[in-house]
Amino acid sequence: MDGILPIYKEAGMTSHDVVSKLRRILNMKKIGHAGTLDPSVDGVLPIALGKATKTIEFLQETGKTYTGEITFGIATTTEDMDGEVIETQQLTTPFPSDKILAGMHELTGHITQVPPMYSAVKVNGRRLYDYARAGETVERPKREATIYEFKMTSDPVFDEKKGTQTFSFLAKVSKGTYIRTLAVDLGKQLEVPSVMGQLTRVSAGGYDIKQARHLEDIAQRMEEEGTLGDWLMPLSTAVDQYPHVALTDAQWDRIKHGIGQPASLFEPITEKIVLTYQGDVKSVFAWRPDKNQYRAYRTFSIE
């Protein structure tokens, strides 16, 4: 089985849990996931099977879409509801929607983020969450991200008793974006502590949540039919973001022997192209200015 299997990861599971369960269900070892989801977050987790594991880096390059909730008036150690409360500021009056929207607009486009202490980013060989659990602090590296869309999807609800205000949102973001930090940064725009509540990833790697399958459904299909059928997406869908070039017999003969290709293979020159032969994706080629050629970047098959 070679292809992409979009999985619906339930809250409470790690991404590694999903891979482990699938290895048993499918009775295969060569499985990987693209884009880790925190245990408390549910949604789309693209899984690569067989030869498609070579496409994971391309799946991770595509943007992601999330829906969730943000609450003003409270902050936690983890920037979500799983952490310990470290700050509260009771709101006496709710923020008007237009002020919240203005803050969201300020965070749309190219931004710089500081990852949360409870994250998997490595500093000096240790993950930040290891420092955090040990009660240690360390300087965190800044990360660049792009927020393509950040909008409110519900009217804000003001809880007068708790002094908090909560609303739902949708965010379309680039790889490397921390949604928890986006929620915290919005609070900073309004000079109030804030925290991310429930979060769902509704698209990733080009796959939508409507395409994502539950593990129990996969187990049942494999038991009854012994195949994933049309639930397994072709390897080619993982590299749809790049131009595709159909090779002639002569071109394929040169390429499978490791020979680079001139700029005329695809013009105007672009960073990466996907090469197909007789309808099958064979490799991704990248433009090499130093060689003045397209050269093999990732090969899936030479057969």
Active site (catalytic) residues = 38
Beta-ladder partners of 68 = 169, 199
H helices present in 69-211, as ranges = 97-106, 128-133, 179-189
Cα–Cα distance measured from residue 281 to residue 285, given in angstroms and rounded to the nearest whole number? 11
Supply φ then ψ for residue 182, to 5 degrees.
Answer: -60, -40
Cα–Cα distance measured from residue 238 to residue 206, given in angstroms and rounded to the nearest whole number? 8
Cα–Cα distance measured from residue 42 to residue 135, given in angstroms and rounded to the nearest whole number? 28
DSSP string, 3-17: EEEEEEEPTT--HHH
Cα angle: 171, vertex 177, 181; to 5 degrees:
85
Cα–Cα distance measured from residue 52 to residue 50, given in angstroms and rounded to the nearest whole number? 5
